[in-house]
Amino acid sequence: MMRIVLFLATNLAVILVASVTLTILGVGSYMSAQGLHLGNLLAFCLVFGMVGSIISLLISKWMAKKTMGVQIIEQPQNAGEQWLLSTVQELSEKAGIGMPEVGIFGAGEPNAFATGWNKNNALVAVSTGLLQRMDKEEVKAVLGHEIGHVANGDMVTLALIQGVVNAFVMFFARIIGDFVDRMLAGDDEEYTGPGIAFYVTSFIAEMILGILASSIVAWFSRRREYRADEAGAELVSPAAMISALARLKETHDEPSTMNGEMVAFGISGGKMAAMFASHPPLDDRIEALRQRYGA
């Protein structure tokens, strides 16, 4: 129920902010009896595409805490939590970023994620399974990987890429819808504005283009994962990063107990086609580190 409420609230916020932005920019309707106004359409799509991604980025920490049940470590309750805070502090200073919030979430499998719109105000969270199944050096490497995401600005980069991709999916879907609508109207009839064919075709085109566009975002995501692995290797050691990935590989085929929203260090789409996977195969990541560092 909480996820549904958060989803609806986020989408209402996107509509409100985008509508206000379009009004301020003086962008009118992109549809008329004469057809599409391409300038207004492009502005409409860019605003809605970017606003959605930016709002999602700005509330990413809050959403992660709510949806994943992350417990933030304010005051360490035991030696393990103290070690976790101290390690994140050490790696953050080494990477040249501000100290992130540190949290733990319940999940039986080893996993971790980093999120936040600002590299000096991020969140790094690890699963209980990661702390239980990996030794300290491996956990430290995983934390280095996540700190690498933050230091590299991956959350902001991917949000901007997603926003631009969303905008062009909306733009071209409506152009295709307009083309089909005019074709079905025929040359003998006076065009009086978009009909049902425009809306149906635009919807279908948006679904198809959205699937194709997701492969573009996934490609960028996979590239960022290699860089984050390198960050983990350099902040801790190549051997520790390789060992952490190998440990993750051991549990990869076990049934997942995690919610789908924030699978970050692991591979959420391992059974999907490679072009749509957000993470490269673990064997490829391990091999890339071995070739780079001769480990």
Residues forming a β-bridge with 72 = 103
Given 101, 146, 206, 230, the catalytic residue: 146
Residue 272, sorted as left (phi over 0), alpha (psi -120 to 50) or beta, turns out to be: beta
Q: Are 122 and 114 in contact (CB under 8 A)?
A: yes
Active-site residue 146, yes or no?
yes
**How far apart are the C-alpha atoms of 89 and 102, rounded to whole Å?**
10
d(CA 268, CA 47): 30
Token pair in block for residue 198? 């425009």
Catalytic residues: 146
